Amino acid sequence: MSDIVLKTENLTKHYGGVHALQEANFELRKGEHVAIMGDNGAGKSTFVRQITGVEQRTSGKIWFDGKEVNFTGPIEAREAGIETVFQNLALADDLDVPSNLFLGREKVLFNLGPFSILDRKAMRKATEAALVRTAVKIPNLSSTIRHMSGGQRQCVAIARTATFASKLIIMDEPTAALGVQETAQVENIIRTLKANGEPLILVSHNMRQVFDLCDRIVVFRRGKIVANLRKQDTDGNDIVAYITGAKTGQAELQAA
């Protein structure tokens, strides 16, 4: 069982009387790309928020990297090795690319507490290397995020995630607001991550994208995991049936 990166057992989250997530059992293995699908309000984002420590779960257990974990905040989760690309990007518009990549974990030349001198050359070099590794195309590292297109911003956010994630990357609808070309660029980055063997959880509404990029598809409906299928065992219609509730599929769940 040493190749399991993330495992949840009976993960449950109630918002007052709303059962947003009920007894979710989930596993992710090394190098695996898993898609999470489901309608709006099905519990996808709730699930992600429990794993990344943005919210505190009502009950259930989470194992990450072989240990049971209780993250009290997203920063703790990040320090443990879970990097998340949030829907709202979490970039500082007025900073350039290296500054954003290293925001909150700057490389330092001389340590003087808050007035530590930044090692700008090293950060720039590391940024260039990271962009090459993730195949992100950015014309000018020194221009601020404000001057970039939505796709470039998303690429910076993903490059930042990929640079520091030692163990797990989570993307919450990374291409939701992007055009065709920009989506293709982001998808290429995800393929690069796959080739590098980095595990990934992708929350997406895009069926083609999910079948293109992921090994396994987990469907949420009304706060429950209703399907857990390998890509080759299913097709688009099947998934849609699970998402809409036409198929309830406890049998398939056990088979998979």
Partner 1 sequence: MSQTSHGIGGLSYDARKRPWPAEFNVFLALVILVGAFELIGRVFLGDSFLFNTRENVSGLFNEQRLQIIILQVSIVGIIAIGVTQVIICGGIDLSSGSIVGATAMIAMSFAQVATVNGNPNPKAMFINFGWTDLPVIVPLLVAIGCGLIAGLINGFLIAYTRIPPFIATLGMMVTARGIAKWWSKGQPISFPTESFAAIGKGLMPVVIFISLAILFQLILTYTKYGKHCYAIGSNEDAARMSGIKIANHKVLVYAIAGILAAIAAVVLSSKNLTAQAGMGVMYELDAIAMAVIGGVSLSGGRGSIIGTVIGSLIFGVIISGFTFLRLDAYYQEMVKGVIIVGAVVLDQWRQRRRAIGA
| Residue 230 near residue 256, CB atoms below 8 Å | yes
CA–CA–CA angle 229, 30, 155 (5° rounding): 90
94 contributes a contact to partner 1 by CB under 8 A = yes
99 contributes a contact to partner 1 by CB under 8 A = yes
Stretch that binds partner 1, among 17-25, 35-43, 92-100, 230-238 (CB under 8 A): 92-100
190 contributes a contact to partner 1 by CB under 8 A = no
Q: Report 136-155 residues binding partner 1 (CB under 8 A).
A: 136-143, 146-149
Instruction: Give residue 226's Cα distance to chain centre.
Output: 21
Minimum CB distance to partner 1 smaller for 136 or for 227: 136
| Residue 22 near residue 12, CB atoms below 8 Å | yes
Compute the chain's Rg from CA coordinates.
19
Minimum CB distance to partner 1 smaller for 8 or for 185: 185
184 contributes a contact to partner 1 by CB under 8 A = no
116 contributes a contact to partner 1 by CB under 8 A = yes
DSSP structure class, residue 30: T
Which helix (H) or strand (E) segment holds residue 6: the answer is strand 4-15
17 contributes a contact to partner 1 by CB under 8 A = no
Total number of residues that touch partner 1 (CB under 8 A): 41
Selection from 82, 67, 88 nearest residue 199 by Cα: 82
Q: Which listed residue (16, 17, 67, 114) binds partner 1 by CB under 8 A? A: 114
254 contributes a contact to partner 1 by CB under 8 A = no
Q: How far apart are CA 179 and CA 151, in angstroms?
A: 8
181 contributes a contact to partner 1 by CB under 8 A = no
Q: Which listed residue (112, 180, 232, 250) binds partner 1 by CB under 8 A? A: 112
103 contributes a contact to partner 1 by CB under 8 A = yes
Instruction: Name 240's Cβ contacts closer than 8 Å, sequence gap at least 6.
Output: 207, 246
Q: How far apart are CA 209 and CA 180, in angstroms?
A: 12
82 contributes a contact to partner 1 by CB under 8 A = no
Selection from 157, 136, 139, 159 nearest residue 147 by Cα: 139
Interface residues toward partner 1, by CB under 8 A: 74-75, 78, 86, 88-95, 99, 103-106, 108, 112, 114-118, 120, 128, 131-132, 135-143, 146-149
